[in-house]
């Protein structure tokens, strides 16, 4: 096994046990040693970028994931992660650009449609967001996250009945997740306030 392969193994094992600084160190060495290998480079930039994203260090995540996308623009997952990072950075325009690119490159991943549906629906076009989230659910009906996001978009539409039906689906799938009950309570409160002041 050559040195770069060993470093990838160290990075992977370090990530599995939560030793993120060791993983980043290994990936950084790969970047220094693999200038002639675009594949090793983009995999290392992706590895560091995803670690920073998972650690909520968004500026660093955007920097490394942007480099991964630059080196391997055909990788749908890189665009998805960069779109997520831009979402957390509240850069909605760039988030949508990369999430749309992700689904264009690979339209078979429910997570891509979920994130695109949420970002588009919450920030730009509720109906289009609902369409994308329904697509995500059609690809994975055990996907409570899309049901949660969809219920909030129906709340934005003031369609209380459908919002409550949808969040109940999330509760069936994840009955121990407190967020589901918080969202249901919000829907019921908004419905009550709205009907009170009509």
Render pLDDT for 156-179 as a digit per residue (tens, 0 to 9): 999 999 999 999 999 999 999 999
pLDDT tens by residue, 20-77: 999 999 999 999 999 888 899 999 999 999 999 999 999 999 999 999 999 999 999 9
Among the candidates 106, 125, 150, a domain finishes at 106
Contact status, residue 95 vs residue 119, Cβ threshold 8 Å: yes
User: Is the same domain home to 70 and 151?
Assistant: no
User: Is the same domain home to 118 and 68?
Assistant: no
Domains contained in the chain, number = 2
Q: How confident is the model at residue 194 (pLDDT cuts 50, 70, 90)?
A: confident
Could you tell me the two tokens for 78? 């890189």
CATH number of residue 81's parent domain:
1.25.40.10
Print the domain residue range for 171. Answer: 108-198
Which residue stretches of the chain are H helix? Answer: 3-16, 20-33, 38-54, 58-71, 76-88, 92-105, 110-123, 126-139, 144-156, 160-173, 178-196
Distance of alpha carbon 43 from alpha carbon 127, whole angstroms: 36
pTM: predicted TM-score of the whole model, two decimal places: 0.92
User: Is the same domain home to 93 and 132?
Assistant: no
Q: How confident is the model at residue 144 (pLDDT cuts 50, 70, 90)?
A: very high
User: Is the same domain home to 75 and 59?
Assistant: yes
* pLDDT value, residue 174: 97
Among the candidates 106, 127, 153, a domain finishes at 106
């Amino acid at each position: 096994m050559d040195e770069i392969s060993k470093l990838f193994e160290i990075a992977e094992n370090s990530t599995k046990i939560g030793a993120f600084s060791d993983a980043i160190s290994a990936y950084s060495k790969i970047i220094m040693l693999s200038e002639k290998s675009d594949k090793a480079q983009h995999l290392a930039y992706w590895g560091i970028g995803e670690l920073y994203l998972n650690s909520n260090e968004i500026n660093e995540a955007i920097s490394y994931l942007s480099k991964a996308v630059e080196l391997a623009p055909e990788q749908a997952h890189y665009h998805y992660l960069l779109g997520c990072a831009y979402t957390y950075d509240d850069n909605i325009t760039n988030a949508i650009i990369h999430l749309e690119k992700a689904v264009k490159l690979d339209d078979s991943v429910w997570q891509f449609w979920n994130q695109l549906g949420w970002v588009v629906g919450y920030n730009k076009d509720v109906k289009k967001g609902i369409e994308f989230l329904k697509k995500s659910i059609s690809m994975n009906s055990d996907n409570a996250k899309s049901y949660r996001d969809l219920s909030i978009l129906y709340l934005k539409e003031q369609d209380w009945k459908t919002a409550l039906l949808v969040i109940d689906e999330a509760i069936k799938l994840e009955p121990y997740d407190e967020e589901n009950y918080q969202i249901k309570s919000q829907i019921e409160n908004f419905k009550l306030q709205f009907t009170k002041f009509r």
